[in-house]
Amino acid sequence: MTGGDSFLFEVTPHHDMRAPATWHGQSRWGAWGYLLPAAVLAVVVLLAPLVATVVTSVTGAEGAGGYLEVLTDEDVWLALVHNAVWLVLALVVCGLGLGLAWLSRDAGPRMRRLLLTVLALPAVTSPLTAGVAFRLIFDANPSRGVVSALLPGDVLFLGPGWIWLVLGLAFVWQWTGLAYLVFHVGLANVPVDLLRVARVFDAGRLRRLRTVVFPALFPTAAVVMLVVLTAAVRVFDLVLIGAPGSIQTEVDVVGLFWWRHRNDLGDGRASALAILLFALAVAVVMLVIWRLRRDWPEAGPQRAEPHAPVPSRPRWGVQILAAAVALAWGFPFVTLLVTSLRSPDAVATSGWWSGGYGLGSYGEAFADGSFAGALAATAQRGLLVAVLVVLLAVPAAYALTPGQLPRRTRRIVAAVAVVLAVLPPQALAVPLGEVLGTLLGSAVILSFVHTALVLPLGVLLLRNAFTSVPRPVVLRPLAEGRSAMMRMTIESGPSVVAVAVLAFVLTWNDLVVGLLLNWPAADQAPLIVLQQARQFATSAGGLTAQAVVLTAVPVLLLSATGRWLIRGLTQGVRR
């Protein structure tokens, strides 16, 4: 492996990237120029507010003692412990995704495709929608909740203790698909030669797993774990909508605690808490990178084409299991859809199996026009963010390819990007809100905040894709002293699409940024859904209708671009 560029996602260039070292007319300053726009946005929107928060946290009324006060607060500790629970769940998600990917090798191509579709959909669903779906399924009223109807007993799933099961299931439901998808591709690329050698030397199944399969999966696992662990640190909307008000303190996480108590904590302590949350995210990510950044011996020349999945005959047991998993994963969607197709009164008083079908809930969802308006504004913002992210991330990623910036600089920039990719918005919200409120204050500004927040991940993904573009393709423009950026972008088409879709979906589903920056609900669709959910049961009809509409957009986008997305997300991950 060419050590230098294998930071975070182990990238395997197809050809020797080292020579020739200099190009006609391609100066180092040119490379900086490519990085500049992205860097400026990141500094203005991310780094400057972050620094301001750090400064506030040590210059507040208590000085640096604010950290100590926060850390000795019983409620903060509880929230930290809860965050740890979510991190453990994130590991469960990775394990489950790997297990399913392993099993599905024997499930036959059709079943594999079905699994892939059903499992991937929740990943583009907003946590808000997931919370709505699971709260419906586990409704404590036996006349409404399907679980309570089937298990008449004393177990109250939304109550103390059991709420963890509901929220945990929602989280697993949401993220397992992503792990499955990436591991699915990763497993297909496990070096067959090495496996064969191991088999020849009579290594057992377990041993083959340990010595060949797992090491080969490390780079893949880095991507999955970065995304899922970040999601675990940032858990917010799921808890906010999934748990009844009286249970919220029981499942408080640091991000939510900060939002609830930033006023009564005071500026100093609130900033200290936000920085702690950020530190937690960085620590987790560093751990992942440190664990996963080990080289493993090169298994002969890489094949240019990804292997076909290990061929095998579909096995019945596995097929049935896969079908069961697909059913279980589809169930929350079915619940949402069927519920939304009932009249609001029927939804409030009875379960989805008891009739009352009609389009009344959609009527209610769009009744006052504010939801439609918010949808338009949200979509507009999502598009703008997608365009901005691509425009900024493409040159920045190009600057991070070999032959542009010096190697050490590239590594530093990539490290900064990783850290910024996990930055929780809580660490920015207060200073950002003050500046935006007094200086800029226009509706377009939220797009720039979103752009800056998605940008680091976009740059990292594109950098991996660009680095794995076969060298001969870009040699010609480089030799002629021209930029190879366009060439690389075209070659990495799927990744560019993936980044644009990612940016749109993240913006479309966003609740946290809007909420923290005190955005009016009428301008961000998920905020309207949250407002509606105050009296959950009696508004569940309109709520599910809105959730279905909110989910339909990313799902349609996913089905339109799915093929590219899979390639785009895994491009540059050893293939």
Partner 1 sequence: MRMDRRQALTMLSGLAAAGLAGCGGEPPLRIAVVWSGWELSRFRDILDERNAVVYSAGDNIAALIRNPVARTAAPDVAIVPRGLVEDHAICTRLRTVSSKNDPPYWQELLRCGADGSIKGAWFKVAHKSLVWYRPEAVPDPPADWESWVRMCESRAASGHPPLAIGAADGWVLTDWFENVLAGLDRDTYRTLHEKTGDWSQESVREALRRLARLWSIENLFPGGGRRALITQFHDSILDVFRYGRADMVAASDFAWPVIAQYRSPGQAARRFRFPGPRGRPAPPVVAGGDAVVALRSSGDRGGRLVEKLTGDEGVSRLERWAAAGGFLSLNPRVQGYPPELQNLAQEVRGDIEFDLSDRLTGRLAGGNGQGLWRVLTELFAKVAVDGQHPDQVADSAVQALRVLSEAGEGS
Distance from C-alpha of 257 to C-alpha of 271, rounded to nearest angstrom: 12
Q: Which residue has the tokens 């780079």?
A: 219
Which listed residue (141, 312, 354, 559) binds partner 1 by CB under 8 A?
141
CB of 461 to partner 1, least distance (A): 20
Beta bridge partners of 357: 342
Task: CB nearer to partner 1: give 238 or 247.
Answer: 247
Which residue type occupies 250? E
State the minimum distance, in angstroms, from the CB of residue 5 to partner 1: 26
Applying CB under 8 A, among 324, 327, 359, 443 the residue interacting with partner 1 is 443
Tokens at residue 132, please?
């709505």
Q: Which strand (E) or helix (H) includes residue 286?
A: helix 267-292
Kindly state whether residue 368 participates in binding partner 1, applying the rule CB under 8 A: yes
* Sites for partner 1 among residues 526-565 (CB under 8 A): 527-528, 530-532, 534-539, 542
Smallest distance from the beta carbon of 421 to partner 1, in angstroms? 23
**Does residue 490 belong to the site contacting partner 1 (CB under 8 A)?**
no
381 binds partner 1 (CB under 8 A): yes
> How far apart are alpha carbons 452 and 41 in whole angstroms?
6
Closest approach of Cβ 336 to partner 1, in Å? 18
**Which two structure tokens, joined as six digits, stand for 368?**
């006052």
The string over 142-176, giving b where at least 16 C-beta atoms fall within 10 Å of a residue's C-beta and e elsewhere, is: eebbbbbeeeeeeeebbbeeebbebbbbbbbbbbb
Closest to partner 1 by CB, 5 vs 523, is 523
Residue with Cβ nearer partner 1 (10 or 510): 510
184 binds partner 1 (CB under 8 A): no
Paired strand residues for 342: 357
How many Å apart are CA 458 and CA 562, to the nearest integer?
17
Residue indicated by tokens 């208590």: 62
Q: Does 152 bind partner 1 (CB under 8 A)?
A: no
Give the contact letters, 238-277, x = binds to partner 1 (CB under 8 A), - = no.
Answer: ------xxxxxx--x-------xx-xxxx-xx--------
Residue whose CB is less far from partner 1, 122 or 145? 145
Q: Residue 22 or residue 442: which is nearer to partner 1 going by CB?
A: 442
Burial class (CB in 10 A: 0-12, 13-18, 19+), 54: middle
| Per-residue x/- track, 444-483, partner 1 (CB under 8 A) | xxxx------------------------------------
Kindly tell me which of 224 and 397 has the beta carbon lying closer to partner 1: 397
Task: Report the run of H or E that residue 28 belongs to, with start and end.
Answer: helix 28-41
Site string for partner 1, 500-519 (x = CB under 8 A): ---------------x-xxx
Q: Any idea of the CA torsion for 466, 487, 39, 519, to the nearest 10 degrees?
A: -90
Q: How many helices (H) and strands (E) are present in the chain, helices listed first?
A: 27, 0
Question: Of 354 and 535, which has the nearer Cβ to partner 1?
Answer: 535
Q: Which span sits near partner 1 by CB under 8 A: 88-96, 228-236, 297-305, 430-438?
A: 430-438
Could you tell me which stretch among 188-196, 209-217, 309-317, 380-388 binds partner 1 (CB under 8 A)? 380-388
By the rule CB under 8 A, 377 interacts with partner 1:
yes
2 touches partner 1 by CB under 8 A? no
Q: Which of residues 34-73 bind partner 1 (CB under 8 A)?
A: 60-62
Stretch touching partner 1 by CB under 8 A, among 41-49, 106-114, 229-237, 374-382: 374-382
Please select the residue that binds partner 1; options are 370, 409, 471, 564, rule is CB under 8 A: 370
Q: Are 468 and 11 in contact (CB under 8 A)?
A: yes
Answer yes or no whether residue 388 interacts with partner 1 by CB under 8 A: yes
Site for partner 1 in 390-419 (CB under 8 A): 391
- Least Cα distance to 548 among 537, 560, 559, 556 occurs for 556
On whether the CB atoms of residues 323 and 313 are closer than 8 A, the answer is no
Q: How far is the CB of 531 from partner 1 (least distance, A)?
A: 4
Q: How many C-beta atoms surround the C-beta of residue 226 within 10 A?
A: 22
Let me know the angle formed at the C-alpha of 173 by 76 and 558, rounded to the nearest 5 degrees: 115
CB closer to partner 1 out of 446 and 469: 446
Question: Quick one: which segment of 184-192, 290-298, 332-340, 437-445 binds partner 1 (CB under 8 A)?
Answer: 437-445
When the beta carbons of 268 and 402 are compared against partner 1, the nearer one is: 268
The two tokens of residue 344 are 């609001």
Q: At what angle do helices 493-509 and 445-467 cross, to 10 degrees?
A: 150
Phi-psi bin for 342: left (phi > 0), alpha (psi -120 to 50), beta? beta
Q: Which is nearer to partner 1, 260 or 471 (CB)?
A: 260
Exactly one of 433, 477, 493, 562 binds partner 1 (CB under 8 A); which one?
Answer: 433
Q: Between 319 and 380, whose beta carbon lies closer to partner 1?
A: 380
Among 419, 522, 562, 564, binds partner 1 (CB under 8 A): 522
Neighbours of 408 (CB within 10 A): 9
Letters for 315-354 (x = contact with partner 1 by CB under 8 A, - = none) are: ------------------------------x--xx-----
Task: Tell whether residue 367 is a contact of partner 1 (CB under 8 A).
Answer: yes
Dihedral over Cα of 98, 99, 100, 106: its sign: positive
DSSP 420-440: HHT--THHHHHHHHHHIIIII
Neighbours of 487 (CB within 10 A): 19
